[in-house]
Amino acid sequence: MTKVYSTDAVYVLDDFQARTGIASVFAQVGGILYSAEGALGNAAGGGVTVLHNYTVPANTLIVAGQSIWFLFTGTFANNANVHTLSLAWGADTLTLFSSTGVASDRWYAEGRLMRRSNTVQVLDIYFCRFGTITRPGAAATFTRTLSSANVLSVRGASAGASDIVNDSIIVGWDNAGL
C-alpha cells in the first residue's frame, strides 16, 4: 500500500465533502449527524412513546456499504411494571428489551445500520443493561426505501410514567468502506 502525503490544506464542506488544496476530486467523510441530551420518559398507560428520534434525510445512504451509527442511553425505573424498549427504523421495529420487575439501572444501545441496496439495510446492534450485553438485532434486515427520509427512534412502553427514560441520542454517518 502506498500512502501519499501532501502539504495542501484540507477543506471540509457543509455536505460532508472534503478536498485537498485546489483538487477537483472530492471525498465523502463521515461524522456526527445529530446529538441531543435531555431526559425524555415514556407516558403512563402502557402505550408506546417515542423517546428520541432523528429523521435521516433522503439519500443519506446512497451507496451500498454506507452506514449510520447510533448510541442511545437511558435508565429504567425500579418497579414491577413491564418495561419494553424498542428501536424503530421507519415502520420497522425491533424490541431491544422487555421484562417485568426491572431494577433501577442504566441502559444503552449502540448499533450500525448499513445499506445493502436501496430497499435493504442490515442492522447490527448491542444492548447493555446492568452490565449484561446482548445482541437483540444481530443481522436484522430492514426494508426502508432510502430515496425517502426515514426516522430512527428509540421507543418505550410501560404502565408507569417515566418507567423508561432516554437521556441522550447520537447519530453519525460513515462512508462506504470505512
pLDDT for position 149: 92
Per residue in 88-131, pLDDT (tens digit) is: 999 999 999 998 878 888 999 999 999 998 888 999 899 998 77
- Number of folded domains in the chain? 1
pLDDT for position 35: 94
Res. 10: pLDDT tops 70:
no
| Residue 18 in domain | no
pLDDT for position 50: 96
Distance CA 120, CA 145 (A): 8
pLDDT for position 73: 96
| Residue 21 in domain | no
The residue range of the domain holding 113 is 30-174
| Residue 136 in domain | yes
| Residue 6 in domain | no
| Residue 9 in domain | no
Res. 28: pLDDT tops 50:
yes
